[in-house]
A and B are shown apart, each in its own frame.
Chain A
Amino acid sequence: MNIQAIRVIYKYEMLRAWETILQSFISPVISTALYFVVFGAAIGSRIQTVDGVPYGVFIVPGLMMLALLTQSIANASFGIFFPKFTGTIYEVMSAPISFIEILLGYVGAAATKSFIIGLIILATAGFFVPLEIAHPLWMLSFLILTCISFSLFGFIIGLWADNFEKLQVIPMLVITPLVFLGGSFYTIDMLSPVWQTVTLFNPVVYLISGFRWSFFEVSDVSVELSMFMVLVFLAGCLITVWWMFKSGYRLKQ
């Protein structure tokens, strides 16, 4: 195991976040605060409670997920895309390092960043509304697993993308709709039956449902099913990334 390599990749990826701290940590906080003002205050004043939870509080897990998913994907995809784009990836490829070590370095750093952002948003939310977390351990597990699996997903996108456009397309065209339609701001049973069925094919629904359950014990699907789906997604990403490295996909001719 090339521990030193993991250490430097992780360290310099974190350093990059630190140097762009405004973009890395502050902007997600600002956008979350804006969501709070718009959804929590404006809409929340009309919809009093959802399943017995005040609306402003109800949307906290969804908001966190929205930020976690977009940040994980953005960080991890950029982290690997950029060296590919500038050509500096040659060094990683010529180093005595295995794909697991590359993953631990890049994805580990991206996941850590998202985790920190998640905590910051949680603290910001606590500033706007009173928060109680019913199952802190479940909450942390969902938080960590989401950071890891979506950083992996971002890493895959970063490997796959061969131009900036592709790098942006997936987060914009796929992830944002999935999160918005995944019940960030409502429960599934508010939808018509047809849409309820359609929604069950949206993986983000399980994520948000499980995460919300760990806060308020209200959920669209059972928490075990949520956890199972998160693990399935994680496994899917791991297999994809393993195959990509194995075949040298988009990296080696």
Chain B
Amino acid sequence: MTSIALRKDIPSAELEKSQIAFSHVTLDLGGKTIIENVSLDVKPGEFLCIIGASGCGKTTALRLAAGLYQPTSGHVSFDGEPMRAPRRDVAIVFQDYGKALLPWRTAAGNVALALETIGMPKAQRPARIDELLKKVGLPNHAAKYPAEMSGGMQQRLQIARCLAQEPKALLMDEPFGALDAMTRQGLQDEVLSLLDASKATVIFVTHDLEEAIYLGDRVVGLLPHPGRIGIDLPINLPRPRDQLTTRENPEFLRLRRELFDFIKASEA
């Protein structure tokens, strides 16, 4: 728990409650059990990373957290309320950013979609759009269409739209999976500094073990067929994290080894 307190100042009473809670969640899809008996508590402000072999159910778990799927048995709750449908204060960043943006709207228009829907008066929107695009490092691209932007820029734009929802929780499904290593590391740091400011709870799915350790307060590993929790590690690395020193930290290397062994065992 110290790791959470390190990242941001959250009253200790808040830490007692969980924001996203899975309790004995099982999900069947197409006659197959995809997720089996998963129980998981995510505290407000916590940065939880989910790792696991391909096809183990990471995306499915995230969609359950988003309310896009309903469990076959057990339940998912958010701030103590059952999650029966997607909520506006839970934003989801999809891996396939190209499909999650409106290609006929400019960058500004895509952010505006969220602002329109939360009912922000028209007069206030331009300032907010500027602020959000600046936050994700796209201040000079407001008039560009997604087709005119690189993959990294499109993913930033999707994150800006999600932030426009003013989410209490941000769910990210391999958001940087399709990007090159340099872009990826840059975005990792940007996400960390953005979320430090917003105090949002994060569930971050990745198959990159180092990315999970670098970003997270905690890493949960799923076992495949059906998806179950196989490992749950707190990450006690100091913040702010740094691409060089954090990755050279002996604790980082130890955690990487532990997760690597876990993945290897889970695939066997």
A, B co-complexed: no
Task: Show the binding face of B for A, using Cβ within 8 Å.
Answer: none
